[in-house]
Structure 1
């Protein structure tokens, strides 16, 4: 049993870089395509810089993708200029100089942004995003003739072409097939007009599309969640090959007995039905542990799954430790394995009424990330 002296943090997220690389290899094998890892949102809470360095040095990745210019600049300062960095949310015209300076690639997703390039003497490489049905970012099919005119007028050849699937995580989805069909039409049209570089990156498949084999004319794939060992839909073939790379731990800071009728925490929302013991654990919603788990989540303690008692507060939770030999400093697993039991990010998300993306991205900066192997 880990004790206070062996476990120096009040809470910690351990990230296995060897498992990250195994997932990368799995996704390469399944897709048979170049993998463009998505490392936005601090690599889905796993730590953008350390994860990216491992993907480049140990995984031989040549292109990474983030959401924002700020993320891209932070990453560029730690990653060689030979590595391409795609900024998925595009750019504002006033940011153009930064894209050139840091050799960043914006994904252009509107006619207005495309028009703004006419005012620039020096242009970054650009990718074009086509909206095939997500109705979020992207040039709509009816806007393509004008986009083609602008590209032709500016003598721009695209370095990449992309779209995004709306429901590829469903085991069967005719809508995904329709999006693929639309994308293929656009791709062929741009090819025929010679508006794509010969080595342009054609990317549309996210994690679930990779697992479903919905790749179309993709030359590259864009996995996010699956890189970190979690499938958007565990029923998709290949999901069983993914290895979760993050273990989230906290520790017991004290234990006390409860008599029948005693209440626990803010609002006194849990009342003991018998004599019990609770242990107080050093985790709370300020660390990103969801308040929605109040009275319904569980953790692993001494190899047992034990229930949360009362509300999740800012820095602490209480758990049922009745019958367990618990010491101050004992390790508590919030996400991960303890002996033969496991709690996944997906399970925590289900208890909290959300998705694993939100759980992982929500792990706050108060939680140190420790990188293993």
Structure 2
């Protein structure tokens, strides 16, 4: 976007619209039955790798499982664990609004992306303050209404911009940054490839900075 048409780097989030780290209790319970009984990792360290140590300990206690005996990658459904394990944490934001982006116009700080064609972009909640790593700009996809769309330009503190093409998602539409690839969502493996971070580093960062919400 050109300077006079650029979206604001920091949106008005007074209404409490922030990205949410969704935690699946069902997946955590199922994964606990798959995790090797070997002290490979301390699964409660770093606030249970960003999943919430108190919550994880409570679920494991209800299953009669000792957290010290479990493999963290399998328990949390991370790359490198048991392939049957499903991700416990997914990151979701919301569409704040959309606007046209004309061919040649730039996006975000420094205009690291310029539109190769006329298109539409969406401003989405979720930036580096919530664990959406800056290097994901121009590299990673999100899913909106069942379709993948590319994050474009530099990721800002609390928001990022997504090229949604010819679609016009409404304000408040769900945006999935990563989740269960079996459901068609971007995987953590895509983020590790794009950022050079480990899966454990990513979920620990996201879980400790985004709002967490537990689902059955």
Counterpart position of 1:81: none
Q: Does 1:42 align with 2:50?
A: no
- How much has 1:329 moved relative to structure 2? 0.8
The 1-side partners of 2:47 and 2:135 are apart by 23
The 2-side partners of 1:296 and 1:35 are apart by 32
- The C-alpha deviation readout for 1:254-292, integer Å capped at 9, x for no partner, is 111011111111001111111010000011001111011
Q: Does 1:27 align with 2:32?
A: no
Between structure 1 and structure 2, the one with the greater Rg is 1
Q: Does 1:15 align with 2:23?
A: yes
Task: Decide whether aligned partners of structure 1 residues 35 and 370 sit closer, same or farther in structure 2, where only a CA change above 3 A counts.
Answer: same
Q: Is the 8 A contact 1:15 1:246 kept in 2?
A: yes
Q: Does 1:299 align with 2:142?
A: yes
Counterpart position of 1:320: 163
Q: Is the 8 A contact 1:16 1:245 kept in 2?
A: yes
Q: Does 1:352 align with 2:195?
A: yes
Query: Of 228, 244, 249, which residue of structure 1 is paired with 2:92?
Result: 249
- The C-alpha deviation readout for 1:189-214, integer Å capped at 9, x for no partner, is xxxxxxxxxxxxxxxxxxxxxxxxxx
> What does 1:180-195 align with in structure 2 at a 5 Å threshold?
none
Counterpart position of 1:231: 79
Q: What SS does the aligned partner of 2:185 have? A: strand
Q: What SS does the aligned partner of 1:350 have? A: helix
Computed over aligned residues only, the root mean square deviation of the Cα atoms, in angstroms, reads 2.2
Q: What SS does the aligned partner of 2:83 have? A: helix
- The C-alpha deviation readout for 1:311-334, integer Å capped at 9, x for no partner, is 001111000111223111111001
The 2-side partners of 1:37 and 1:261 are apart by 50
Q: Is the 8 A contact 2:34 2:74 kept in 1?
A: no
Q: What SS does the aligned partner of 1:241 have? A: coil
Q: What SS does the aligned partner of 2:170 have? A: coil
- The C-alpha deviation readout for 1:51-94, integer Å capped at 9, x for no partner, is 1111101x212x444xxxxxxxxxxxxxxxxxxxxxxxxxxxxx
Task: Decide whether aligned partners of structure 1 residues 345 and 278 sit closer, same or farther in structure 2, where only a CA change above 3 A counts.
Answer: same
Q: What SS does the aligned partner of 2:206 have? A: coil
User: How many pairs align?
Assistant: 201
The 1-side partners of 2:67 and 2:96 are apart by 40
Q: Which has the higher contact order (CA 8 A, sep 6+)?
A: 2
Counterpart position of 1:204: none
Consecutive unaligned residues of structure 2, counting only runs of 5 or more, are 1-15
The 2-side partners of 1:339 and 1:327 are apart by 25
Q: Is the 8 A contact 1:286 1:364 kept in 2?
A: no
The 1-side partners of 2:44 and 2:52 are apart by 8
Q: What SS does the aligned partner of 2:169 have? A: coil
Counterpart position of 1:290: 133
- The C-alpha deviation readout for 1:122-171, integer Å capped at 9, x for no partner, is xxxxxxxxxxxxxxxxxxxxxxxxxxxxxxxxxxxxxxxxxxxxxxxxxx
- How much has 1:231 moved relative to structure 2? 3.5
